[in-house]
Structure 1
Amino acid sequence: MISSRRKAHFYTVAILSGVLPLVFLAGLLWRPSIPTVDETTDKLFAAANFSSQEDANRVIASEILSVNNIEVLAETSKSAGGAIFLELEPTEALQFSNILVYWSAGESASDTVDKKAILLGQLSGSSRRQFPVSSAMQDKPGYLLFYSRSQDQAIGSTSLPSNLFP
């Protein structure tokens, strides 16, 4: 290799090894800050039935339900607007995927999804979920059915205590 080219490559590499990290750090420091959560994301959380801190619901009653040896905290709460919600929170992470929660009227709990069952929503992991309560749920005795959509089987069912509703 030509001696003059070797010197040029040496100085180029030496300069770039010092300048490139400085340019990288300057880019990190001068980049604009973009908020990850703001007012526009509140609509997405509301559509997914996640409760927000601003809604400050008043708890009416709570009960611990047992579904397939997993305890689930069930609470009913009333929002400032007067709507009643059923909040479910597993005490430990659920080991099933795509869990759908159904409510069905009746005294005895079933292991199949009835045609008249009302889909409340999806439950996953150990996160707390909030489901709106219909008038049918308040008036009639019923049970909750936890169904794994991906495994196409019922995980378990439990009766919904009447003391949860006013």
Structure 2
Amino acid sequence: MADLKASRVLILATDGFEHDELFAPRQALLEAGAEVTLASIKTDPIQGVKNDSDPTETITPDLTLDQVDPDDYHALLLPGGVGNPDKMRLEEKAIDIVEAFMDDDKIVAAICHAPWLLVEADVVDGRRVTSWPSVRTDLENAGGDVVDEEVVVDGNLITSRNPGDIPAFNKALIEALEKVGEDA
């Protein structure tokens, strides 16, 4: 079992996040000992969905986007769902956070539709990535080398396609955090 007690992970999400893409990685990180913080547009509870339409449980963010200092974290987790990243990519502060993590070569893990934030932050040019099929043209247009694999690790960037890929996505994220711990 991984021991990530020194790792701090930031999750960015808002209403419309795909339930399993937030809760399953969050739980895996917590079980491995990581400190996990959820930031959103507001601190009101945000609504999860299953299959982008059926409401699931809510979760209350710890911080607003304006309260986030990227220097406080080792990794950024971006869950998908259609509505969540579509709203988040319009938030200038969310894009600034993604850019800061990428500029500092920190781990950024995005699943399903979440790579839309990577496109908006202009950080996929020349990177090998994957995503939900409807996002792939956007990634290609942004200069990404798009493949259809359950998880793609390109340096500090980890991407996956859908909820079925969560086990591989979680494994890649935890392994990347373990490596950061070894290098510290």
Question: What's the TM-score bracket when you normalise by the shorter of the two chains?
Answer: under 0.3
TM-score, normalising length from structure 2? Answer: 0.24
Bigger radius of gyration, 1 or 2? Answer: 1
More strand by share: 1
More helix by share: 2
